[in-house]
């Protein structure tokens, strides 16, 4: 979708654009006047490798005996289940244990003749039926101790059953409390307060085309340390429905950061980058997904967490930069998270990094132009970097 010329008329070069040559030249030199997006129909057909919230749309085919790994690692299984399933397990575990031991006490009382109510050598006093046995089982396991139903020293079997129930009660309480604490301190909950920007941008930084996205922590207790990683994921469909996945990591200098303030993660599109030959028009034709993650240690708990998301070509905005969010106010750094996802237009050539480097690279002995360094000054006929962009680079956290 091309924006109206009048909106960005001040940034358009003057000249005759009536013929094909002029129109082509205008398309090359115009900055920030074209928005590249996929149609809703194409976007709905494309399946994401990872959802924006970090979940993977992967379904595993059930094999024979697939429940065995879940039962062998029952603690992890219960930690990962939903809260309603956990509360159901909590309810059933105690209720069933009371019923089982109550049934055992009723059988002991029935065999010993305690149910008849005759005054003789009783095993369980004041148990006249299954209801009384169930109440005695609940009082014993919950350590209520009303004192009306008691265990006597006449039956060794009953004493052994009470001992087993006490040990089982301690073990069950430990498991239930541990699972609840583990679920409350889950890394997924902490990861919800550490987030990436909704989009990624491509702009000029120090004369080099760079891909950048934001990372911020919404909580006051800051993160001790963390590692940023980005991977380009592509998939190819083979005959008979088979899919082959390919992964290629993006080079990010200084991956380890302390997220005290929002950071702008930057990947320089240099030779060797999977995006080096991709231009703004090529984004529409490329079928890839950029998966980014941030693995960190929390300051409050010291636990290891991970936040992740993904960007498709429609989430990458060419010719934009993020709005400044951090300012110095009264001896403190003030961060405005309402501008965390806000972007502004900046002049950026509508060329791939490879073509852009060739265009400004010098000729050596008549050979093909060699890409110049991103830190070198641009030649006179190259598009100049926006001064606002240079200021933004200095103000942002640069990795």
Question: Mean pLDDT over residues 224-239, rounded?
Answer: 85
> Which one has a higher pLDDT value, 207 or 20?
207
Report d(CA 394, CA 333) in Å as an integer: 15
H or E segment and range at residue 102: helix 83-112
Residue 393's pLDDT is 35
The residue that leads in pLDDT, 157 or 5, is 157
Instruction: Please give the average per-residue pLDDT across 257-261, as a whole number.
Output: 82
What single DSSP character describes residue 178?
Answer: H
Do the beta carbons of residue 136 and residue 108 sit within 8 Å?
Answer: no
pLDDT at 291: 93
CA distance from start to end of the chain: 32
Hey, which of 134-138, 368-372, 381-385 has the most confident mean pLDDT? 134-138
- Looking at residue 74, its pLDDT comes to 76
For residue 23, the model assigns a pLDDT of 38
Q: Above 70 in pLDDT, residue 37?
A: no
Which one, of 7, 12, 113, 34, lies nearest residue 351 by Cα? 34
Residue, of 241 and 187, whose pLDDT is higher: 241
Predicted confidence at residue 6, as pLDDT, reads 36
Distance CA 136, CA 146 (A): 9
Most confident of 11-15, 23-27, 201-205, 334-338: 201-205
User: Does the pLDDT value for residue 292 go beyond 90?
Assistant: yes
Show the domains of the chain with their CATH numbers: 67-186 (1.10.287.70), 190-360 (2.60.40.1400)
Bigger pLDDT: 177 or 53? 177
Task: Say yes or no to pLDDT of 60 above 70.
Answer: no
> Closest Cα partner for 223 from 323, 119, 300?
300
Higher-confidence position of 238 and 190:
238
DSSP state of 235: E
Instruction: Give pLDDT tens digits for 76-111.
Output: 788 878 888 888 988 999 999 999 999 999 998 888
Q: Beta partners for 3?
A: none
pLDDT of residue 361: 59
pTM of the full structure: 0.61
Instruction: State yes or no: pLDDT of 312 exceeds 60.
Output: yes
Whole-number pLDDT of residue 119? 63
Query: Could you tell me which residues come within 8 angstroms of residue 326 by beta carbon, excluding any fewer than 6 positions away?
Result: 261, 262, 333, 334, 335, 336, 395
Residue 379, C-beta contacts closer than 8 angstroms, at least 6 positions apart: 360, 362
C-alpha dihedral, 72 to 75 to 77 to 80, nearest 10°? -160
343-347-351-356 Cα dihedral, nearest 10 degrees: -120
Read off the pLDDT band of 61 (50, 70, 90).
low
The full DSSP string for 41-66 is HHHHHSPPSS-TTS-----PPPPTTT
The mean pLDDT of 329-341, rounded to a whole number, is 86
Mean pLDDT computed over 246-258: 87
What's the chain's average pLDDT? 74
Residues 255-264, mean pLDDT to the nearest whole number: 85
pLDDT digits 0-9 by tens, 209-231? 999 999 988 776 666 678 999 99
Instruction: Please tell me the predicted confidence (pLDDT) of residue 189.
Output: 60
Q: What is the mean pLDDT of residues 185-190?
A: 63
């Amino acid at each position: 979708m091309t924006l109206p010329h009048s909106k960005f008329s001040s940034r358009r070069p003057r000249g005759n654009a009536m013929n094909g040559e002029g129109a082509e030249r205008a398309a090359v030199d115009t900055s920030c006047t074209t928005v590249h997006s996929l149609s809703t129909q194409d976007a709905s057909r494309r399946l994401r490798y990872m959802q924006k919230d970090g979940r993977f749309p992967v379904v595993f085919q059930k094999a024979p005996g697939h429940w065995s790994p879940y039962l062998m690692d029952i603690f992890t299984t219960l930690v990962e289940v939903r809260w309603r399933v956990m509360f159901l397990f909590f309810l059933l575990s105690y209720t069933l244990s009371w019923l089982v031991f109550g049934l055992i006490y009723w059988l002991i009382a029935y065999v010993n003749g305690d149910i008849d109510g005759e005054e003789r050598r009783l095993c369980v006093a004041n148990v006249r039926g299954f209801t009384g046995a169930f109440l005695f089982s609940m009082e014993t396991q919950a350590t209520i101790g009303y004192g009306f139903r008691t265990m006597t020293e006449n039956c060794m079997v009953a004493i052994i059953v009470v001992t087993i129930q006490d040990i089982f009660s301690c073990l069950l309480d430990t498991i239930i409390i541990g699972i609840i604490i583990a679920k409350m301190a889950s890394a997924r909950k902490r990861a919800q307060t550490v987030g990436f920007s909704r989009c990624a941008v491509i702009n000029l930084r120090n004369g080099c085309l760079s891909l950048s996205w934001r990372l911020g922590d919404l909580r006051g207790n800051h993160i001790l340390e963390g590692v940023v990683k980005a991977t380009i994921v592509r998939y190819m469909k083979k005959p008979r429905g088979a899919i082959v996945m390919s992964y290629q990591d993006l080079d990010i200098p200084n991956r380890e950061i302390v997220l005290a303030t929002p950071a702008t993660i930057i990947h320089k599109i240099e030779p060797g980058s999977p995006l080096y030959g991709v231009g703004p028009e090529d984004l529409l034709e490329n079928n890839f997904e950029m998966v980014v993650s941030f693995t960190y240690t929390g300051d409050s708990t010291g636990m290891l967490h991970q936040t992740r998301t993904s960007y498709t070509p429609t989430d990458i905005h060419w010719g934009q930069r993020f709005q400044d969010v951090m300012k110095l106010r009264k001896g403190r750094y003030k961060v405005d998270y309402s501008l965390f996802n806000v972007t502004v237009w900046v002049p950026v050539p509508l060329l791939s990094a490879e073509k852009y480097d060739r265009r400004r690279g010098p000729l050596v002995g008549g050979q093909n132009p060699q890409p110049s360094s991103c830190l070198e000054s641009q030649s006179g006929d190259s598009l100049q970097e926006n001064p606002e962009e240079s200021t933004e680079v200095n103000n942002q956290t640069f990795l």
